[in-house]
Amino acid sequence: MDEKWGEISQLSAASILPKLPHAPNTGQDEVLEPIFLEHRQKCKQNLEGILELLKNVGDEDGKIQTAKRKHVIPLFLFLGEQEDGQRPWGSQENEDKASAVVGELFRIFDMDMHGPGPLSAFFFRDFESISNPTKTTFAHLIKTFRPSLGAPDAEWKCYPAAQQSFRWLLFQVKVKTDH
């Protein structure tokens, strides 16, 4: 089972849109279209591979260990990028496949996909400590975004898919407040 999760992690990491040579919508988008076309094709192929691997993953020991969650961090980053098929690097077909992948994750991790903020429970399960919020899946996801979204000056604009993924992740989270 570890090999499958490792392969899912590798396919996901290989599918994340890299830094673009310049920000989109700057009048030079014709330079980006070949990059987006190649990326869409790679994503389609990798989403199909990930979906097939996930269909063959179950909860053999009655409880998937927390360590397996580390393998899904690149997957969630990738799924967030594919959430909007109208983006130049996405397609409706890839968006649909990404939704199917999320459905498989709900099945594997036995989560209710119809509740409010259905991924919140997953994101806030701790890696190592029940009481340490810096060890949650969500904290690890945010740290992963730091190099692209925290880039100096306007360089962060060269990571539009990271921006989309970050926005998608934030919309997945519902946090209880005392107010």
H or E element at residue 76: helix 73-81
Coil, helix or strand at residue 38:
helix
Per-residue pLDDT tens digits for 42-64? 999 999 999 999 888 765 544 45
Contacts of residues 33-40 at CB distance under 8 Å and 24 or more positions apart, as own/partner, are 33/88, 35/89, 36/88, 36/89, 39/89, 40/89, 40/90, 40/91, 40/94
Determine the pLDDT at residue 133: 60
Determine the pLDDT at residue 175: 57
Is pTM beyond 0.75? Reply is: yes
Dist CA 80 CA 35 (whole Å):
19
- Residue 147 contacts by C-beta under 8 Å, 6 or more apart in sequence? none
Q: How many residues does the chain have?
A: 179
Domain ranges of the chain: 2-17+27-172
Q: What is the mean pLDDT of residues 143-163?
A: 77
Per-residue pLDDT tens digits for 3-25? 888 899 899 999 998 888 887 77
Coil, helix or strand at residue 126:
strand
Contact by Cβ (8 Å): 70, 14? no
